[in-house]
Structure 1
Amino acid sequence: MDIINGVNIVNIGILLVALLLSMSIHEAMHGFVAFWLGDDTAEKEGRLTLNPFAHIDLYITILLPLFLIILGMPPILAAKPVPFNPNRLRYGDFGAALVGVSGPITNLLLAAACAPILHVVAPGTIIYSFITVMITLNVLLFVFNMLPIPPLDGSRLLYAFSPEPVRRILESIESIGIMFIIVILLLLMPIIAPFISGVSTEIINFLV
């Protein structure tokens, strides 16, 4: 019966709205930056939008986190990757790096924009809870996505500044497939989680 408790329903609703909003802006920004750099692939596929349904993938956005929750594991979810053609971008690998980091940087800017609002709204209100979730969630999205592990966005930055042997390793990892990489991330979570938590806490403390 506790699952239908009003407070829990409100909290779940706040989390879902914050997640859909943050995810949509993150993914749309990938497409906008790619378009600005000369590639219209995302535009042709209807991804230059804040409509969350355009960025939801049945398997990695919905079914995967539900499956992990059922197994008692930490939920990992991802939006449908925004397609872009690196060969059509200005500045080559650096253009691809800009497309990659644009999403996480946008999450960090969203958190920074929300932080001052905490000082002008009353604690205990729905708005206060929503802003708190937006700050925490977007900082977590920033830190997690900036990890230099393919296919996370941070790997694009590493790829742009790495010598050819390292690039080949990154390409080999990415070619394995996203589901296998998610399994690897889950196995590494005991190592990664404390790092993500620590860095995120420092950023949040700085912002608020």
Structure 2
Amino acid sequence: LTREEAVLCLMNMKSLQVNMIVANLRHEYEQLLADVGGDSFYIRAHFTYNTTNEEELSLRVNDVFHVTDTLYNGQVGYWVATKLNASPTHNKITGAIPNKLRAEQLASVAPSLDQLIKSKQPSFKRKLRSKFGDKRSRSVSSIHHLKEDSFFAKVTCWKPLTNSKFPAYERVLLKAVTIIRPVVLFGPLADIARDRLLKEHPDLFELP
């Protein structure tokens, strides 16, 4: 159980009598006291949420977060999380994000991408289609880049699809990549690109 789930479980108990089974395990008790956060799991967001609150983090489709506390300021409603897929030029950002229940509520009433496009003028539709291609074949990864558009930055909350099969938050696992991925270059400049990679980044690339 997370800290939030434990608190909600206690709050929803209807019985006035509570039976407890206790044991004297001092070592485990000290470990619990030392574990300040109490939570540690990873989630992927499947909706976009923009906020101007300095203590909150804005969410984008496909953002991955490490949740370290499900009781922000000791209250139910927000989680403390660190955004893991932040820009390489920026440090990881930690702040508050809506908890699972509030995220589901936000995503359930949020307009979809197609609904937002239909609400704009034809010129805006043409601009989006020319920039991102046919909306029917647009992938989630390309939708992620819509965050740079000024119009979408002004929308408080939206989701990629009208009837999305994904929940607002999806639990994911953090796994380290232990294999070396090959890089295959094609085209007339492949030899030049290969030589530059070998010369400028000898610690990252090598010929098989």
Structure 1 and Structure 2 fold alike (TM over 0.5): no
Q: Name the structure with the higher strand share.
A: 2
Q: Name the structure with the higher helix share.
A: 1
Give the TM-score taking structure 1 as reference length.
0.24
